[in-house]
Chains A and B, each alone.
Chain A
Amino acid sequence: MEAGTVSSERTISVTVNGTTYEREVQARKLLIHFLRDDLDLTGSHIGCDTGNCGACSVIVDGTLVKSCMMLAVQADGATIETVEGLADGDELTKLQQAFSANHALQCGYCTPGMLMSATALLRANPSPSDEEIKRALQGNICRCTGYWNIFEAVKAAAE
């Protein structure tokens, strides 16, 4: 199938957390569904499915995106990072440890997205200001914590 021809299905190759997968996907499949249903990587969550909540946030070719607003076919050839790729075995990242130490989650539903947004922030800006942390997490909604402990966790990981 040539890239420039219209088709409702195509074979894509993506590298997720270091593993390369080749799969045939329908053009209508959202990236979040591809990750969860086709690759069984269920760490990334579907919250609102309208691009508001950020629970599906993943990093595609170094850029933080909401995977419910991108088609799987658009990720052909891309390198994707999801929450499953953060820890090294049982060794949590500094950010993940800070989430635990600061009680930055209750139900945990938003946590994968929060972690990916904060990871993207700290990579680009290792010492963010309070304002920069808040703005970086603006695209992620949490219904439990009131955000404060999440903010504290990111701040702790940054220091």
Chain B
Amino acid sequence: MLLREVGYARPGSLAEALELLRADDGARALAGGQTLINVMKARAGSPDALIDLNGLEELKGIELGSDGTLELGAMTTYTEIIESSEARARPILGEVCAQIADVQVRNRGTIGGNVCTSDPTNHLPPLLAALGATFVIQGADGERAVPADEFFLGVYLTAVGLGELLTKIRIPAGRGDGFAAVTLGVDGTCIVSAAASANGDLRVALGCVDAVPVVVTPASGDEDVVRAAVRERSFEPPSDVHASAEYRRHLAEVLAARAAKQAFERRS
């Protein structure tokens, strides 16, 4: 498919990238391109210019702090996360990244692109919501850190504003995590997903039941308690060709219980 005519720039620094984005409201950041380029083919989006973030080393890499906090550059690919020894400090991260699409997509797709797309069927928004991640956003007025609960604002909408970039994602220490999803084929996009973290109080984040991940905090990891906590939220998920709203509500309960069980099993 021939794309609509588009401008392109490959900035050499983060500051230059931000300047280019601020200079044109129609400019958009190009991360791994595994969503955006297809969106442009379908004419669902037509940026005036693409500011290519590939090649910005400042946005890459994984660091493990002395307190166990992981700091991931927004342009770190799924493959880099899967292969990183530092990222194994929070094993669920690499495990879930290995379930995204296929080798080719994992080689180019990035953690920042995944969350900034804020597609309800993506794996990482509910996972990072459950893990209590913090999102570092850089704009004209400097840097701000946004908690997961305030980062996802709607379908395809996040706290990253025009002229801003997500630069880093911080994930606190912990190993008691779980993830469960029903997907379109093995490693496909999610019909419903659930991520759980039992490091301290249990947090379960559900994907595909609302526009953004929904966090529930069951009083315990007991299956009946988790299912009741999900049921009480009376989700109104969409019905589509893959699942009815009723079936999605059922899956939300089942998957939340599975993810919570796995989280408790792994809590050291």
Structural contact, B104 and A65, CB atoms closer than 8 A: yes
CB of B2, distance to nearest CB on chain A (Å):
7
Q: Could you mark each residue 1-45 of chain B with 1 if its beta carbon is under 8 Å from any beta carbon of chain A, else 0?
A: 111111111111000100010001001000001100110010000
CB of B184, distance to nearest CB on chain A (Å):
11
Name the contact of B102 in the complex, choosing from A26, A27, A30, A54 (C-beta under 8 A): A54
- Sorting the interface of chain A by its residue count into under 10, 10 to 19, 20 to 34 or 35 or more gives 35 or more
Name the contact of A51 in the complex, choosing from B4, B12, B34, B186 (C-beta under 8 A): B34
Whole-angstrom distance between the alpha carbons of A28 and B40 in the complex? 10
CB of B222, distance to nearest CB on chain A (Å):
34
Whole-angstrom distance between the alpha carbons of A99 and B6 in the complex? 40
Structural contact, A138 and B12, CB atoms closer than 8 A: no
What residues of B have a CB within 8 angstroms of the CB of A29 in the complex? 2-3
Residues of B whose CB lies within 8 Å of any CB of A are 1-12, 16, 20, 24, 27, 33-34, 37-38, 41, 49-52, 54, 101-105, 107-108, 186-187
Whole-angstrom distance between the alpha carbons of A28 and B6 in the complex? 6
Structural contact, B104 and A6, CB atoms closer than 8 A: no
The answer to whether A6 and B9 touch (CB under 8 A), given A70-B33, A71-B33, A138-B187, is yes
Structural contact, A65 and B24, CB atoms closer than 8 A: no
CB of A15, distance to nearest CB on chain B (Å):
18
Q: Could you mark each residue 112-141 of chain A with 1 if its beta carbon is under 8 Å from any beta carbon of chain B, else 0?
A: 000001001100000000000001101110
Structural contact, B10 and A3, CB atoms closer than 8 A: yes
Structural contact, A63 and B107, CB atoms closer than 8 A: yes
Q: Could you mark each residue 58-88 of chain A with 1 if its beta carbon is under 8 Å from any beta carbon of chain B, else 0?
A: 0000011110111101101000000000000
